[in-house]
Structure 1
């Protein structure tokens, strides 16, 4: 059996004869004119993709607005931080200036001049009262009153 003469069951062989029934002619059937309603939504809104597209657009707009607000807040915070740094620098300079005044005003000569300007007088020799464990006391040193300044009011108890 050769390939050309082999018959496969269920498969028809090549057609050699004429057709017994003619093919029908195809023709266009006129349809009923459709009446469009003016209340119908446009085709783009009726599409099943429209809600997804609107969601994506809304998300893009929301994200853009969110980033704008976030950038604005960061810029405001940056300006406040810059102002605070400038204030800190000014206060640090003020602290250094005050420390320098304390250092320069802490010399014995400066303290003595400030005391005289305030009306203070130098103290005389000091005396100490030492209390013994048995209850007695001993005076060490000789107390003397401070000399009065000219033009200063008399101290109470001077007897004047």
Structure 2
């Protein structure tokens, strides 16, 4: 309940009511304060949403990490396999292995077309083209 205040003598205008203390005052003070429940629910909701989004992000990154580790292992295995094949190929290209392979297939050296390479002269003709060491004759079919 409000009671009009007395006006000073020199002042003109409408009288303003003055609040009276009583049982109506605490209810008015409670109504003036904003309710806390919606704000608390908003903050809790934002925190929960942030936590869920962080968990989802962590799960996605973990999945990609597992995939990357699997690809690294696969690449490592392929590198080892490549080195093993390269080593086996190098062994098969060695002269001894080539000679054994040719012998197994029934091939042998062709002494008639063998060329002698000397550092001062280029290899331009076969060593067996009509030349024999002094005092020796050619044996037909052997290339010597």
TM-score, structure 1 as length reference = 0.44
TM-score, structure 2 as length reference = 0.48
Bigger fraction of residues in helix: 2
